[in-house]
């Protein structure tokens, strides 16, 4: 249909709908929310002339056939909004529709005429005609309601009695939702929102290698669960638990050859005992794994499993499906490389194989297999090295059947690629936090993540360390550096994670100068960790996780706000609930070596207090209480004593 034909067909649709939010890439991708959230939809809605407008949000869960309709409220400058509750997991659709409301316009003008003392007898007849015109669009009971009103407006009753009928709010509401269908403007597309469970928004992750627990079995790893639970974590993430290949197995500190007693990298997946759907015999059996998952639940821990779609040369796929790999002219498989790094123990899968559909189905079955073992959270290794379309298909397909499944994207790559993966469906994403160590960098980065359109689809999960990343800041800053980075991660992000026990024990020695690799990395050997060390950060971690659970302000990212201190070595920021009944202010010394002082600036709007009000700042880390007044407050933080404040802003009783 041409533009002219469209205009002629819809010429009576006078309303314009623009600027509908939230939406991602013009509705190409879904926005993200969690169960219990209220979905706020806004739009610019206007028409020619001065007539009243009736605007509505239509929404439905994918399991529902019919639509719910919710009237929008007018804000300012032709901006309208409405909110509805997201009370089910899965996908919702929503859109906006609007029309000129003749009865609403007549009712508005009637009030003005009456106030001006004008004769309104004719107006009652006009109103009756509008009601009569709408009656054919209504159900029987509603049509009867209009018939009674029509008769009243056309009857011989006194003007005051007719005014009561004409200005009845229920009648106005009924007419506002009774348009002529050929005059309804609908927004050009239906938008979607994916609703996840709370742990997609708020979670604390702990990474652990089971093979470094006791004798390296799931049964011994289960003895570590109380230790992790006592620190307040709710997701325990395990690196790959599959059989490890022996061909080109890497030795200690990534040596190109391994001794017979060296275990190899868990990411070199696959051996004669099986591949991605098997458990390494050294760890136990599938039954032992299921028992481990069950034990974790008893400690309020959920197991997250690493899914790495790559194979050792010994993986069954290599023999059973050689077409899934890229073969070189010398009749060998191309191993993984990131020049100058070589990973001879890993074969990448060839997603451009002619047999790609069978490959996709098999890889999806890997997730389904572990879902069948009780896993509902997956950390996906290097998803940016696999096709975008693969992830969009896989995640959407799995979440249709299992909407409670969560996916964490481990993609340290270019920003647009990280964002694309999040748009495609990953529930959470690793971030550049590890490399943001200065106040300006942290402020700019987390402002982008939480105060721009990115917050509609990208849920950040900052980690101060991983088995692959030991940043120079931690290598040189001593114990204070670990405390500083931990408090930043746990309070900037509603979700965050640490690789332990390396983190709480302040493991800080690199393999060589200039490297971010740990010396004696657990990726290539087992470690005997001294968990009862007096140097451990376990008490601090437990306290901060308890603070996070007790304060709703720290359980979301959308209300993160940064504040000035007058000192670049101090960073200050706050989080609050929407009604400001919970306000938490963080001030952190970014210098792990020297004390720093400054003036924290908080406006009355920041703290929900009148100007010059006296209020209390309760430090939840130390228990100290400060009585403050006004906007500027002196702070002094010593990295060797107290490098940070986590302050609850409270009214004085």
* Cβ-Cβ contacts under 8 Å for 526 (sequence gap 6 or more): 209, 211, 212, 216, 263
- Count of alpha carbons within 13 Å of 242, Cβ hemisphere only? 29
β-bridge pairing 203-207 and 235-238: parallel
State the Cα angle at 262 between 258 and 264, rounded to 5°: 75
76/223 Cα distance (integer angstroms): 59
Give Cα separations from 2 to 16, 186, 187 (angstroms): 19, 19, 19
Q: Is the dihedral of CA 70, 74, 75, 78 positive or negative?
A: positive
The first and second tokens of residue 29, run together, are 């991708």
- CA distance from start to end of the chain: 68
- Judge contact between 21 and 447, C-beta under 8 A: no
Residues classed as catalytic: 381, 410
The first and second tokens of residue 285, run together, are 């059996």
- Judge contact between 630 and 595, C-beta under 8 A: no
DSSP state, residue 457: T
- Judge contact between 648 and 618, C-beta under 8 A: yes
Prior bond to 268 cis, omega within 30?
Answer: no
Q: Is the dihedral of CA 175, 181, 183, 188 positive or negative?
A: positive
- Judge contact between 162 and 90, C-beta under 8 A: no
Give SS3 for 563.
strand
Beta strands (DSSP E) in 456-557 are 495-499
The first and second tokens of residue 181, run together, are 């269908």
Q: Is the dihedral of CA 192, 196, 202, 205 positive or negative?
A: negative
Closest CA to 601 of 644, 571, 622: 571
Q: Of how many residues is the chain composed? A: 653
- Judge contact between 66 and 60, C-beta under 8 A: yes
- Judge contact between 635 and 596, C-beta under 8 A: no
- Judge contact between 326 and 334, C-beta under 8 A: yes
559/572 Cα distance (integer angstroms): 14
SS (H, E, C) 281-292: CCCCCHHHHHHH
Prior bond to 22 cis, omega within 30?
Answer: yes
Closest CA to 476 of 342, 625, 591: 591
Give residue for tokens 């949000």: 57
Give residue for tokens 């114990």: 479
């Amino acid at each position: 249909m041409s533009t002219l034909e469209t205009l002629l067909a819809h010429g009576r649709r006078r309303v314009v709908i623009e600027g509908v939010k939230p939406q991602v890439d013009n509705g190409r991708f879904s926005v993200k929310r969690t169960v219990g959230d209220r979905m706020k939809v806004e739009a610019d809605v206007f028409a020619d002339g001065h007539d009243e407008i009736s605007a509505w949000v239509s929404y439905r869960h994918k399991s529902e056939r019919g639509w719910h309709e919710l009237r929008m409220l007018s804000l300012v400058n032709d901006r309208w909004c409405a909110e509805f509750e997201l009370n089910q997991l899965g996908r919702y659709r929503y859109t906006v529709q609007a029309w000129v409301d003749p009865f609403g316009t007549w009712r508005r003008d009637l009030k003005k005429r009456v106030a001006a003392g004008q004769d309104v007898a004719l107006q009652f007849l006009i109103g009756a005609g509008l009601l009569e015109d709408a009656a054919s669009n209504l159900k029987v009971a509603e049509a009867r309601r209009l018939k009674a009103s029509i008769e009243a407006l056309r009857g011989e009753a006194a003007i005051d009695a007719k005014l009561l009928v004409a200005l009845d709010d229920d009648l106005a509401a009924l007419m506002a939702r009774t348009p002529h269908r050929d005059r309804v403007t609908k927004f050009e597309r239906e938008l979607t929102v994916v609703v996840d469970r709370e742990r997609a928004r708020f979670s604390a992750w702990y990474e652990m290698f089971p093979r470094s627990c006791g004798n390296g079995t799931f049964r011994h790893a289960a003895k570590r669960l109380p230790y992790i639970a006592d620190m307040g974590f709710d997701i325990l993430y395990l690196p790959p638990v599959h059989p490890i290949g022996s061909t080109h197995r890497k030795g200690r500190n990534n040596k190109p050859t391994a001794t017979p007693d060296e275990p190899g990298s868990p990411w070199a997946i696959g051996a004669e005992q099986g591949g991605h759907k098997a458990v390494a015999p050294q760890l136990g059996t599938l039954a032992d794994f299921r028992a481990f998952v069950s034990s974790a639940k008893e400690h309020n821990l959920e197991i997250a499993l690493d899914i790495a779609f790559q194979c050792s040369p010994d993986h069954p796929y290599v023999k059973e499906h050689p077409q899934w790999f890229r073969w070189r002219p010398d009749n060998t498989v191309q191993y993984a490389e990131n020049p100058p790094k070589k990973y001879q123990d890993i074969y990448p899968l060839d997603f451009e194989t002619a047999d790609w559909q069978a490959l996709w189905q098999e890889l999806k079955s890997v997730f389904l297999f572990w879902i069948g073992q009780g896993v509902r959270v997956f950390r996906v290794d290097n998803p940016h090295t696999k096709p975008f379309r693969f992830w969009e298909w896989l995640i959407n397909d799995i979440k249709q059947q299992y909407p409670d499944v969560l996916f964490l994207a481990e993609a340290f790559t270019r920003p647009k690629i990280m964002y694309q993966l999040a748009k495609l469906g990953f529930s959470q994403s690793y971030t550049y936090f590890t490399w943001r160590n200065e106040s300006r960098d942290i402020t700019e980065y987390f402002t982008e993540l939480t105060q721009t359109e990115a917050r509609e689809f990208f849920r950040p999960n900052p980690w101060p360390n991983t088995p692959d990343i030991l940043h120079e800041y931690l290598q040189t800053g001593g114990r204070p550096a670990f405390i500083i980075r931990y408090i930043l991660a746990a309070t900037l992000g509603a979700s965050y994670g640490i690789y332990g026990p390396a983190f709480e024990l302040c493991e800080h020695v690199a393999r060589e100068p200039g490297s971010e690799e740990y010396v004696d990395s657990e990726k290539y050997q087992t470690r005997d960790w001294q968990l009862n060390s007096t140097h451990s950060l376990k008490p601090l971690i437990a306290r901060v996780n308890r603070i996070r659970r007790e304060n709703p302000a720290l359980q979301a990212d959308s209300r993160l706000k940064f504040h000035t201190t007058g000192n670049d070595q101090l960073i200050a920021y706050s989080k609050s609930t929407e009604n400001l009944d919970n306000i938490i202010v963080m001030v952190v010394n970014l210098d792990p070596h020297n004390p720093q002082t400054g003036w924290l600036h908080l406006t009355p709007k920041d703290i929900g207090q009148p100007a010059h009000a006296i209020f209390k700042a309760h430090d939840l880390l130390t228990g100290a209480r400060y009585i403050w007044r006004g906007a500027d407050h002196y702070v002094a933080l010593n990295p060797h004593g107290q490098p940070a404040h986590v302050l609850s802003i409270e009214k004085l009783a």
